[in-house]
Amino acid sequence: MTSTVVAGVDGSPASTAAAQWAAEEARRRGAALRLVHAWPWLTDGVSSYAGPDDLPAAAERTLAEAADAVRQRRPELVVDTDTVLDAPVDGLVAAAADAELLVLGSRGRGGFTGLLLGSVSMAVAGRSGTPVVVVREAGPGAEGAGSGEVVVGVDAHAPEEEVLAFAFQEAALRGVAVRAVHGWDLPPLFGYAGGAVPAGEVAQLEALEAKLLSLALAGPRERHPGVEVVEDVRLGAARGLVEASAGAGLVVVGRRRRPVEFGPRLGRIAHAALHHAEAPVAVVPHG
């Protein structure tokens, strides 16, 4: 069975960048590309401003334009298009259920200009059982060219194998290094004490965190001996990962699968990366 990379397309500049990024990723993986447009009213014609055929025709036109743009750059790539009669979040999650990857733009046509991440992208990243990559319409790696290293957020105290495996696979496909960023925070007792923390104690704690990171990366290093690894320990988890994203080709973060349908779906690290990272962000479900 041919593997597939799925990209959500709605005609917005961000989704156009996502389609091109997905095309390059499909080429790297030797996969087919499937462009999907999901909207619940594509065929019912219930609208005060559109005739019965207007919405389906517009959806098909949007997909055709995106597919043509991809084929112009990568004529060898297998590109399919599909319209899904469903709400965008549900439709995209379902469309990518059997795919290797789902790629979305950071904001669709319904977003506010000041927002970095649209509600659909946020919701899909929090629900999808498939890894989701969110691409901005401009910036490093916006259309798949990202030549920078792959940055992955690592909790050295509880490393997630699925997240690390994804990051190392991406680095191997791109021929770049993995920068494993472990952000740590001072224990609460230092806050209670008040005043400055002795530099010697900070150095000792940082050395311990660095050792934990090395242990967490031992398995992935062994499985991917050709991938260069940069171990990066920083004070401040979310801030450290965002700072490390400058110049990166891809940022990889994890999201724990939830057994229930309510409550927050993205942790603070994934949330910070999606809103502030300077490179495309991959959210990998785990657990």
Q: List the Cα angle 112/21/283 in 5-degree steps.
A: 70
Convert the pLDDT of each residue in 163-186 to its tens digit.
999 999 999 999 999 999 999 887
Q: What is the mean pLDDT of residues 9-33?
A: 94
CATH code, 150-286: 3.40.50.620
Convert the pLDDT of each residue in 186-234 to its tens digit.
766 555 445 566 667 778 888 999 999 999 999 999 999 999 999 999 9
* 45 band by pLDDT with thresholds 50, 70 and 90: very low
Domains 4-135 and 150-286 are alike in CATH topology:
yes
The correct CATH number of 4-135 out of 3.40.50.620, 2.60.120.620, 3.30.70.580, 2.30.30.100 is: 3.40.50.620
More confident residue, 52 or 234: 234
Q: Where are the domains of the chain?
A: 4-135, 150-286
* Residue 257, pLDDT above cutoff 50: yes
pLDDT at 146: 54
* Residue 113, pLDDT above cutoff 50: no
Q: List the Cα angle 182/185/186 in 5-degree steps.
A: 140
Please measure the distance between the N-terminal and C-terminal CA atoms of the chain and give it in whole angstroms.
Answer: 26
pLDDT at 260: 53
Q: What is the mean pLDDT of residues 254-272?
A: 77
% residues pLDDT > 70 (the chain)? 80
